[in-house]
Structure 1
C-alpha cells in the first residue's frame, strides 16, 4: 500500500488520505503476516482499522481470530527497534502520533518510510480468514512526544519483612478493561505491597504507572511475552524494555530473549504452564525460568497439574543437587469481576524495593496465599540450634531428627499437609472456625529430601484433594 511522496504532498499536509486493502489468509498461514505501507513525509497521525469474517465452523473446529499491531520504518526484524504497538485481538482500530497513541501503542513521530501492519492469524477457520484493513493518514505538524515518567524502584517498606504481591495483571494497555488507577486501588484493597505491569506483548503501559505508585505500593514494570507456545512473565525489567514474542519453541530463540529479560534486570517466570487456551500451554522447558507460576487465578485443575509438575522437578533437583525453581502465584486479572491479588505471592525481602523483591522471589523465600487474610510461618529445626525457613536448606546429618512446623492464620476449616519427595506424609485435622492453628511433624533428611506445606480447603470431589488456600516453597533437608 503506497501513499506516494510526490508533488501533491503539500496539498495533502492539510487533510487526510485513506486506503483499504483486502485479502484472505488460508489455513496454515504464517504466524505473522506483514502488510507494507509506504508513508510519505508530513504525516501527523496514522490510523488503522480492521475487520475480518467469522464464518460458522463445525463443532470442535477453531474459528477465525486475527491479531494486529504495527512496526515503523525501522523494520520488522525480530528484536529490532521498529515495534510501535500491539493490541492482539483486543481492539478493532488504533492510532499512533507523536503526542499520543491508542493504549498498547507507543507515541512518537510518524516518520516517512515503509511501515508494516502486523497481522497475527491466531486461529484460521477451514474456509480461510478474509480480512480488510483501512489506513488513514492525517497530515500536519507532528506535535511533541512527552518524556515518559516511570514509577520509582523503591516504596516505603518495613525493612526485612514479608511483602505481598501480584505480578500478573492486565489493564486497557493490552486486553484488560481496567485503568492503571483502578488496578492500583484494587491492589491496595487486596493488601498488596507490590504489583507488576504485565501487558501482552507491549511495554506501552510503563509510562502510565508513576501516579499509581506510592510509599504503600511498589510498581514493577514488565511484560507478558505471549508466544504461540506459551506465555512468560518478565517481572521488574528496566523501564521501556520491550521483549519480542514472535517465535516458537522449534525456533530455538527463547533462550536469547530470556537472557535479554535478565540483562534488563527482570525475572523470567513461565505463566499458567498448563492452561488449555490455544497457544497458552508452555513448550519451552524450564531451564531458563527464575520461578514458575503454579497458581493462576481461581485454583483449578490446570493449577493442580502445574503444581504436580513443579513438585516432580523439585525431586529431580534434590536428587541431582541441581538448582531448583521456586513457585509463585498471581491473579492474571483482566476485568470485573476478576479479583486482584487472588492469589498473591508473599515474599520475604530485605526491603520494599525492586531488587529486594526480585531477590526474594528468585531465592524461593515465598509462599502463595489465596487472599490477604492468610498468613503462614513455616520452619524446620534440627539439633544444635539449627533452623531454616522457606526456600532455605536445613544442614543436618542424614539421620538427625528434624521438626517441621507450620503456623496458619485465615484458613477456617482447612487442613495442613506436609509434602516431601515421597508425597504427602502428614495431614492435619481441619482447622477451627477461627482459621488459626498449627501442625508439627518429625522426620529426618534421609527420609525427606525436602518438605513443603499446603493448606487445603475441604474436598469437593474425593479422592481428589480440596482446592488450595495456601502453599509454600520447600525447605530442603540435609547437607
Structure 2
C-alpha cells in the first residue's frame, strides 16, 4: 500500500486549525481482520510513501486492530540520499498511540516513543521494547506516529511494516517504580549531589538502568533524575535497579522541535506531551502547568546546543531552572552562562543547574552535577532546594565549594538574601577544595569584581567586601584557565554558584 506524495493540504490537528509549524498529517490507514479458523496467526501489512521537504512535524498512520491480538510489532525504514555539505539529510522519529486516542495531551493513549534510536518495536501485555509501555493490545484504531525530523531536498521515501500476532495474552506487566528513599545516603539537612539529566536504553542512551545506577554511585551522587526522551516507560522499572544509597527520581526530557525541557520530579508513570513548538505558547503553558500540578519542575535544557531542535526557544519565565552547564565544558555552555547572567542582571533570576546529559558509557555521569541544600534526601525537599536556588554546580565529586556572605550582624548562603542597609559592608567568602590550577572569581551585576588563584594544593579561601549600594547580588565561579582533562575549551568551568542577594528586597 502506498500513501503517495503528501502535501500541506493534508494537514490537520485535533482541536482546530493552527500554525503550520505545529500541524500534523494523517496517512492512509491499514485495517486487519481476525484470522479464520486454521489460518496463520500472524499478519503483516506494509505502507510506503514519500515525505517532501515541506511537511509538518508529525504524521499519523491509522492501524485498525481487531480483537484477539496479543502482540503488535512495527518496523520502519527510510532512505538516506547523499546531500551537499551544510544541507540536512533524512531523519525520522517513530512512536505509538493506542485506541484510547492520540489527541494532544491524551495520556491514556500514549504507548511509547523511540525517536530515531530504533527501527522497530513490540508491544504486548507482558512486555514492550524499551521506550514503550507494556499492556494489552486492545481492539480499536491505533496510530503509528512518524516525525520527519529533517528531510533531504530529494524527499524521504519511507516504509512501515505492521505485524499483528493473534493469541491469548501472557501474564500482565507489573510496574515496579523506584523507592521514595535511599536511607544509606540520608543525612537530614545537608548538601546533596545529584545529576538531573540522564538517559538509558529506554530512549537514546546506551546504558542500561543498572549500568547508570552503578556509574552514578561511583560518581559519588546522592540522587539522579531519569529523563528519557518523550517517554515514561523507564519510570515503571526503576525499582528493579534501585539501591539504598542512591535516590532515583522520575522525569522526562520533553523533546520538541523548538528545544528540550526536562520535567523532573514526576510521579511514576507520568507522561508529558511534546507535540508543539515555541509558537504554540498556550500548549507549552498547558504542559508546564501539568508538570507543576504533579509537583515537578521545568528545566530549560542546554539552551544553546548546536543541533536542530535542541536550542531552547520557549519562554524562560515559565521555567523553574536553567541548565547552564551540560556535559564537558564548551562554548555552548559559555553562551548559556552569559545568557543566564544577563537574565539575572535584568532582574529575572532562574536558578542555574548543571547536568551531564550522559547517554553513552564514554560520557561521564556527574560531569557536571548540581549540589543542592535540602532538608533531607527526599524528592519534595530536593526540588524545593533546587527551585530556591540553594545550589552550586560541580565538575566532579572531588570539587567542593562553600560560599556565604556576612555583614551587619547577619549572614546568608547561596540562594538567600542578606537584608542589610545599602551602606553596610558585606563580606563574601568562598572556600574551595579539590580544584588545583584554577581561579576563583566573584561576580556581581557589573561583571567580574575580584579574582584570586588557587594554589597547587587545590584549596583556598577567598574573600571580598562590597556594599549593597554597589552589588545587588554576588556569585562565584571557579575556572581552569588551561581547560583541563575534561575539555579543550580554555577557561573551563570547574564550579559555580547561584547568587547571594544583597540589601533589602525591592
Residues 65-92 of structure 1: CA distance to partner in whole angstroms, max 9, x if unpaired?
0110111111210001211000000001
Residues 378-431 of structure 1: CA distance to partner in whole angstroms, max 9, x if unpaired?
0000112x0000000010100100000000011001000001000001111x21
Pick from 37, 47, 53 the counterpart of residue 27 of structure 1: 53
Write out the 4+ residue segments of structure 1 that deviate beyond 6 Å after TM superposition. Answer: none
Q: What is the match of residue 365 of structure 1?
A: 390
- Distance in 2 between the 1:396 and 1:305 partners? 33
Stretches of structure 1 that go unaligned for 5 or more consecutive residues are none
- Does 2:98 match 1:69? no
Retained in 2: the 8 A contact 1:295–1:330? yes
Q: What is the match of residue 285 of structure 1?
A: 315
> Normalising by the residue count of structure 1, what TM-score does the alignment of the two structures yield?
0.96
Pick from 110, 121, 127 the counterpart of residue 100 of structure 1: 127
Retained in 1: the 8 A contact 2:192–2:222? yes
Residues 21-73 of structure 1: CA distance to partner in whole angstroms, max 9, x if unpaired?
10000011110011111111111100000110000011110000011011111
Q: What is the match of residue 455 of structure 1?
A: 478
Stretches of structure 2 that go unaligned for 5 or more consecutive residues are 1-28
Q: What is the match of residue 261 of structure 2?
A: 232
- Distance in 1 between the 2:168 and 2:109 partners? 22
Retained in 2: the 8 A contact 1:2–1:39? no
SS in 2 for 1:416: strand
- Distance in 1 between the 2:366 and 2:241 partners? 16
Residues 173-228 of structure 1: CA distance to partner in whole angstroms, max 9, x if unpaired?
00000101100000000000000010000000012211332321100001000000
Shift in Å at residue 11 of structure 1?
4.1
Retained in 1: the 8 A contact 2:176–2:240? no
- Distance in 1 between the 2:251 and 2:210 partners? 17
Q: What is the match of residue 2 of structure 1?
A: 30
Shift in Å at residue 10 of structure 1?
4.2
Pick from 83, 105, 115 the counterpart of residue 57 of structure 1: 83
Q: What is the match of residue 15 of structure 1?
A: 41
Shift in Å at residue 134 of structure 1?
0.6
- Does 2:62 match 1:36? yes
Pick from 400, 407, 415 the counterpart of residue 391 of structure 1: 415
- Distance in 1 between the 2:154 and 2:229 partners? 28
Residues 230-253 of structure 1: CA distance to partner in whole angstroms, max 9, x if unpaired?
000111101100000000011221
- Does 2:274 match 1:245? yes
Retained in 1: the 8 A contact 2:422–2:467? yes
- Distance in 2 between the 1:145 and 1:174 partners? 23
Retained in 2: the 8 A contact 1:160–1:349? yes
SS in 1 for 2:423: coil
- Does 2:136 match 1:109? yes
Retained in 2: the 8 A contact 1:456–1:465? no
Q: What is the match of residue 414 of structure 1?
A: 438
- Distance in 1 between the 2:219 and 2:47 partners? 47
Retained in 2: the 8 A contact 1:328–1:368? yes
In the comparison of the two structures, how many residue pairs are matched? Answer: 468
Pick from 266, 286, 294 the counterpart of residue 296 of structure 2: 266
- Distance in 1 between the 2:276 and 2:305 partners? 19
Q: What is the match of residue 459 of structure 2?
A: 436
- Distance in 1 between the 2:122 and 2:329 partners? 38
- Does 2:218 match 1:195? no
Shift in Å at residue 460 of structure 1?
5.6
Q: What is the match of residue 297 of structure 1?
A: 327
- Distance in 2 between the 1:374 and 1:383 partners? 31
Shift in Å at residue 3 of structure 1?
3.6
- Distance in 2 between the 1:159 and 1:332 partners? 28
